[in-house]
Structure formats: structure tokens, C-alpha cells
Structure 1
Amino acid sequence: MQVVQTSPAPPPPPLRATRFLTDADVGSLADWPAAIQALAAAYAQPIDPACVPPRAMARGDGIWLRSLTAVVPGGYLGCKLISASPRAARASYLIALFDAGTMALAGLIDGNQITGLRTAATATVAVDHLAPRRALRVAVLGSGFEARAQLHALAAQRAIASVAVYSPNPASREAFAALFEHRGWPVQAAAQPQDAVQGADVVLCAARARGEQPILRAGWLAPGATVVSIGSTLPEQRELDVDVLARAHSIVADMPDEVLHDTGDLIAAQAAGLSLAPRLVALSRLVGGKAVARAEPGDIAVYKSVGSALQDVVLAGMLLDRALARGVGTDLPVSIAPVAK
């Protein structure tokens, strides 16, 4: 009897070391045009809800941990973890990326700047599809990191005719105006929020009012205005007046179900008797040309964001690929090893 010799299975290919990117590494690799382009391409494709499940949050006494996961077709599998203590005013962000072919841990990335990048870049994708095709009159409510990022991103994509900024702190709004003056923009620091909003094509809301009371009122909005709300993402947070949502022809959302059920603005509006679900439009349907946000040019459109792991993983993957090509970051001496299952 002839014995057939079988060759042992070839060993798996050697795994590339896990690349760690610091916050400084992310800053050296990122730019607004590339971030906006990557997210516009991602949202132009149909998104399987199974690839971007709802976020989860664990809460303790004055602390919380949020997790967001996504599978990007043709890209990485990823998870972002956010640990935060509102009481201590501290937070940390970590993004883990896994190779879709080997399941190896490809990268660990400080997610601090990516969070700001993805929020502002995704909002810019929405505004680009919602705002008129001309130089835009912009109002900014807020003067912090998110507000600055929103304006930087929008200016990278669209021409800006004028900017008015309001912050409850006079020194903060003056500093915000001074920061952007070097770009040659006519930036005005407004003493009242309604003064900033008057006549604006786009209203960027990136500041919740003290006591979680709305900072934007419907009566201030010009016909055809586009409202961006990114500052209130939890049930206890408020940014928009109920009447803003009553007046909106559509509410474009990055995560429609979470926006509807988990944000204080929409919770309050539904408690006041508004039916919002029929007016919700998924951002992917808007960008993909499957939905429109206005029936008439004078209709108000709202873009409401809670953030999505799709945004985090798309941008983190782009930055990791850049880092590997440019030799940026640090290879970890050890990592986890995929196992046979």
C-alpha cells in the first residue's frame, strides 16, 4: 500500500507590528480636504446597519465609558473607546484597528484629534449637500475646539462670505474672531446669539447653553437656512429649541435611530408632540442621491450628529495607511496574536 505523504500547512505569513500613533502623529498626518473626501466617499455607498451597530455606554458614579464599533467594507475593522469624567473634566480616546484579512491588531491610535476631525468633516459633507452653491454666510454658536474645527473644515470645502460668532464669554468670542482674521475673513463677534444667526445660510451649533437649555431659537433662522447641531449627543443635553425642529423640513442624521431616541433635542421635541421619524433622513441616503432634504428653497434643514464609528474607522484607517507609507508612528515591540477559532 502506498502511503501518501501530505505536506504540513504553510505557516501563516508574519504579522506586521502594531503601529501606535500619538496625538502629535495624528496632527502631522491629517488634513481637512483628505478627511472630507474620505468621508464623502464612505457615505456615498450604501451602509449596512450591521456594519455600524449602535454605540454602547457604561456609566458609573460620575464617569462613563462609550464604545463605537464599525466594519468598513474594503477597509479596517475598528473600535473607538471614550472614557470620560465630566466631574473631573477629563476624557481619553483610543481607536483600535484590525486588519480585515488577518484579524491582526494593525494600529492603536490616539483618537482625540480624530474625534474633532471626523465630526467636523462629516458635518461639512452634509453642509456641502444642503447649503446653496455660493459663498456662504456662516454663524457659529460656540468658540471652543469643536466650533473652530467646524469652521476650519467648512472653509476647506466651500467659499466663505462672512462669519459671525457668538459665545457666552465675550473674551472667548473675541479670541475666536481674532484667530480667523489672518485668513482675511470678515469675522464678527456678536454680543447676542440672534445677532450672529441673522441672515446666515449655515448655522454651526457647537456649544450647549448653561443648564442644558437651547442656544438656538427658530425665530432667528432665515428661510432656507441649514442648521448643524453637533454639541448635544446625550439624552440630558440640549442645543436646539423645539421650534427649530418643528420648523425643519428634514433632519439629516449620521445615525438616525440614535439621533431620534438618544439626543435631548429630539427627545424634548417628541415630548412636546412633534412627529419626527417621518422627517429623518440618513446622511448616506442624502450623499448617495437617494433622498432630498428640501421641497422648496426656503425650507429649513437640520443636520444632527451623534458621531459614528464609521467616521472614526474611515479616518483612522486613512491616517494609519499614511503613517505606514511615511514611516510615522511607533511599532510596538509586542502585540496580540490572532488565534485559530
Structure 2
Amino acid sequence: MGTLNSAAAIALPPTLFLTDADVARLTDWQAAFDALRSAYASPIAAAMVPPRSMARGDGTWLRGLTAVSPSGRHMGCKLISASMKARRASYLVSLFEQETMGLAALIDGNRITGIRTAATAAVAVDAAAPRKPLSVAVIGSGFEAKGLLAALAAVRDIARVRIFSPTPANREKFASTVCEEHGLDIEAAASASGAIEGTDVVLCAARSRDESPVIRGEWLTPGMTVVSIGSTLPEQREVDEETIVRASLIVADMPEEVAHDTGDMLAATRAGVDFAGKLVSLADFVGDGIARKPEDIVLYKSVGSALQDVITAEMLLARARALGIGTEMAHSIVPVAK
């Protein structure tokens, strides 16, 4: 059994609770980008980001994602509880101080998935795309698509944007909103291929209802960077086999999961496409500066990871403390001596 440490032995700051509204106020794309780029440029041992776990009940599940931050400040966990019957889910991120094991923060994680996904994609695009004002195609008009474009616009100059969504009203609304909020030159396209033609970067966050691919390799031209975040499970599709064939580099945030657990890569494997030699981790791509030729097509495939959650939560916590946002909890857990 452990024994309680005295308050004098360990001076722990109060645990900070951040609500979903707090996270919205604290969100900063440049800060998230900087934190994630720094993390992916640091040495990251596999043991620091283990595979996710899932407990399943009758129509319910609880997923856990854990990671140790390479910053040396925190380690943490994102828990997702979901009920398919009730069509509800809750997200909780906990951060522990690496030095004291004290519980630094509890954060409503509802927005964190979107923030970390978009900001990490911006890290990948920044490393892959040419150093010039970018022409960008956006496939999809939902929350994820808006986040991808907002994060990229915060860190790179964007010359123009084309948006395609199957529903004309949605793509027109997206174009109008983005123009108003970000001042970007944006137009709605009548087709996905029309949106992609002549662009430098393709941001895809739009699986089809029947899970057939929405990006075709035949539409891609040399030098493009393609971001795909919508196929994270075996039954999901977003890009076709030809996209996998034509990509010179496939950059993955979690290479093993991307290769073996996503519908896009499983379909490519069934079709006999050998992509193992061009699959690289985002950490290697950013940290080692893996070279790409100007004509290379780079595909960034993301399934998300606890590292991204923890790094994003660290950023939010630092901003919360600096800005005096959040609620200090009257009581918290006390680390015990072992």
C-alpha cells in the first residue's frame, strides 16, 4: 500500500478543469501547430504512444488513448465513452505532471479531436507542400473540413481555394463562411475532380455514404499533397487504390494502424498494391526531413493518436494558465509514495 505524501513534501498546483466553452476560447491554430511540429520533430519511442484500447458493452464502448509527451511536462489519456443506442458520446482528457504525478488538468475533449487532427495535418502539409502561396482543394463541407482549412490558413499563405461537397447548398455556404471568416479567395466547384484540378494541396474530409472512394488517383497531378482523414476503420473508404499507387510517399501519423486498420489501405492490399516501401511515419517525415522531389505526390493518411491529444491538451493548459481561464478544483487526487 502507498502512503500519502504531505502537502509540504509536494507542492501541487490545483487541478484545472476546462469546459468545452473554455477550449473554444483557448483554441489557437498557430500555437497548436507549433506544439505538434515540435513534438513530431522530437525523439518519440513507440512505448510513449501505445495502441489504443477499446472496452465494448451492449451498444456501448469506452476507448482509451494514452501517451507520454516528449516535452517532458505531461502524460495523459483521452477517454471516449459512446452509446450507439442513445447516439451520445463524451470525451475527457486528463493530464498528469511527469515530475510529480499530480493531476494537472481535466479537459472536456469534445473539440480536441478536431483541433489536433487539423493542426497535425497542417504540420504534414507544411513539410510536404512547396514554399509558395498554395492553391487548395477542399473535399467536404463539415466541421473537419473547416478545421483543416483554418489550421492550414493560419500557418501558410493560401492563394485560392475550391470547395466541393455533394450538396450544392452546403458547398456554397462553406465558401461564403470561409470567405467571411478568413478572407480567402474561395469558390464552389461542381465536382470533386473540378475542385482538385490544378491545385497544390487537397484536403479531404468527406467519406461517401456508401463508403466508396471520393478521391481518384487519376485526378492527381505531379507535385500534389493529399490529406485524407476520413478513413480510420476497415469498413471506411476515402481514396482509391490508384491514389495509393501514384503516391511517391505515404506519410502516416500511426503507420501500423494506417496500413492494417483503414479501408483504403486494406483495399490496396487486396488489389496487390505494394506500398510498404513508401510508407513513412510523420515523425520521420518531419524530424528527419525525408526528401521529396518536386514531382512527387505525397499522401498524408491520418487515424489520429493520443500523442496529438496530449500535445494539444498541453497547449490548451498552458494558454489557460497564462490567460486565467478555467476552474480550479477544490479537491483532487493526491499522489502516493510507492
TM-score by length of 2: 0.93
The residue type equivalent to 2:228 in the other structure is S
Question: What CA distance in whole angstroms lies between the structure 2 residues aligned with 1:300 and 1:33?
Answer: 26
Contact 1:238 1:265 in 2 (8 A): yes
Question: Does 2:165 match 1:167?
Answer: yes
Q: Secondary structure at the match of 2:230?
A: coil
- Per the TM alignment, residue 35 of structure 1 is displaced from its structure 2 partner at its CA by 0.8
Given candidates 149, 154, 158, the residue that maps to 1:151 is: 149
Given candidates 132, 135, 155, the residue that maps to 2:133 is: 135
Other-structure match for 2:3 = none
Contact 1:25 1:329 in 2 (8 A): yes
- Per the TM alignment, residue 11 of structure 1 is displaced from its structure 2 partner at its CA by 4.7
Contact 2:49 2:306 in 1 (8 A): yes
Contact 1:75 1:314 in 2 (8 A): no
Question: What CA distance in whole angstroms lies between the structure 2 residues aligned with 1:173 and 1:147?
Answer: 11
Query: How many residues are paired up?
Result: 332
- Over the residues paired in the alignment, what is the CA RMSD in angstroms? 1.8
Structure 2 unmatched runs, 5+: 1-5
Contact 1:76 1:100 in 2 (8 A): yes
Other-structure match for 2:196 = 197
- Per the TM alignment, residue 62 of structure 1 is displaced from its structure 2 partner at its CA by 4.0
Given candidates 90, 93, 111, the residue that maps to 1:92 is: 90
The residue type equivalent to 1:54 in the other structure is P
Other-structure match for 1:305 = 302
Structure 1 unmatched runs, 5+: 1-8
- Per the TM alignment, residue 338 of structure 1 is displaced from its structure 2 partner at its CA by 1.6
Distance 1:214 1:85, change over 3 A: farther
Question: What CA distance in whole angstroms lies between the structure 2 residues aligned with 1:82 and 1:236?
Answer: 20
Other-structure match for 2:75 = 77
Question: What CA distance in whole angstroms lies between the structure 1 residues aligned with 2:86 and 2:264?
Answer: 25
Other-structure match for 1:334 = 331
Query: Which digits, 9 at most, give the CA deviation of each residue in 1:288-323, with x for residues without a partner?
Result: 13523x3x3222110011111111111101211221
> Which segment drifts farther, 331-340 or 298-307?
331-340
Contact 2:78 2:94 in 1 (8 A): yes
Question: What CA distance in whole angstroms lies between the structure 1 residues aligned with 2:205 and 2:85?
Answer: 20
Q: Percent identity?
A: 61
Q: Secondary structure at the match of 2:111?
A: helix
- Per the TM alignment, residue 22 of structure 1 is displaced from its structure 2 partner at its CA by 0.5
Question: Does 2:17 match 1:20?
Answer: yes
Moved over 6 A (4+): none
- Per the TM alignment, residue 48 of structure 1 is displaced from its structure 2 partner at its CA by 0.7
Other-structure match for 1:6 = none
Question: Does 2:317 match 1:314?
Answer: no
Q: Secondary structure at the match of 1:139?
A: strand
Query: Which digits, 9 at most, give the CA deviation of each residue in 1:64-106, with x for residues without a partner?
Result: 3221110113120100112234565433211000111111211
- Per the TM alignment, residue 234 of structure 1 is displaced from its structure 2 partner at its CA by 1.2
Question: Does 2:120 match 1:122?
Answer: yes
Q: Secondary structure at the match of 1:58?
A: strand
Given candidates 174, 177, 182, the residue that maps to 2:175 is: 177
